[in-house]
Amino acid sequence: MRIVALVPGGIGDQILFFPTLDTLKQAYPNAQIDVVVEPRAAGAYRVCKSVHDTIVFDFKDRNSLADFGNLLGVIRDREYDVALSLGQRWAVGFLLWLTGIPIRVSYAGGGAERFLTNPVPLKTEQYAACMYHDLLKGLDINTPCPNLSVSVPEKDLDWADAERKRLGIGSGGYVLIHGGSSQLAKDKGIDKIYPIASWQGILQDFEQRQPDLPLVVVQGPEDKEFVQTLVQSTSKLKVTAPGDIGKLTAMIAGASLMLCTDSAPMHLAVAVKTYTMALFGPTDPQKLLPDSNRFIGIKALSGKMADIAPTTVLEKVWAG
**Residue 139 has what DSSP assignment?**
G
Residue extent(s) of CATH 3.40.50.2000 domains in the chain:
2-139, 154-319
pLDDT average, residue stretch 103-129? 93
Residue 38: pLDDT band with limits 50, 70, 90: very high
Of 36, 22, 13, 18, give the one whose Cα is nearest residue 101: 36
Handedness of CA 112, 114, 118, 119 (dihedral sign): positive
Residue 233: pLDDT band with limits 50, 70, 90: confident
Note the pTM of the prediction, 2 decimals: 0.94
Distances in whole angstroms, Cα of residue 80 to Cα of each of 5, 74, 89, 136, 167: 10, 10, 21, 16, 47
Handedness of CA 189, 283, 277, 198 (dihedral sign): positive
pLDDT at 33 over 80: yes
pLDDT at 304 over 90: yes
pLDDT score of 193: 87
pLDDT score of 101: 97
Residue 88: pLDDT band with limits 50, 70, 90: confident
pLDDT average, residue stretch 151-159? 97
> CATH for 154-319?
3.40.50.2000
pLDDT average, residue stretch 92-115? 91
Residue 188: pLDDT band with limits 50, 70, 90: low
Percentage with pLDDT > 90 across the chain? 81
Which residue did the predictor score with more confidence, 256 or 91? 256
pLDDT score of 66: 86
Architecture of domain 2-139: 3-Layer(aba) Sandwich (3.40)
Residue 117: pLDDT band with limits 50, 70, 90: very high
pLDDT score of 67: 86
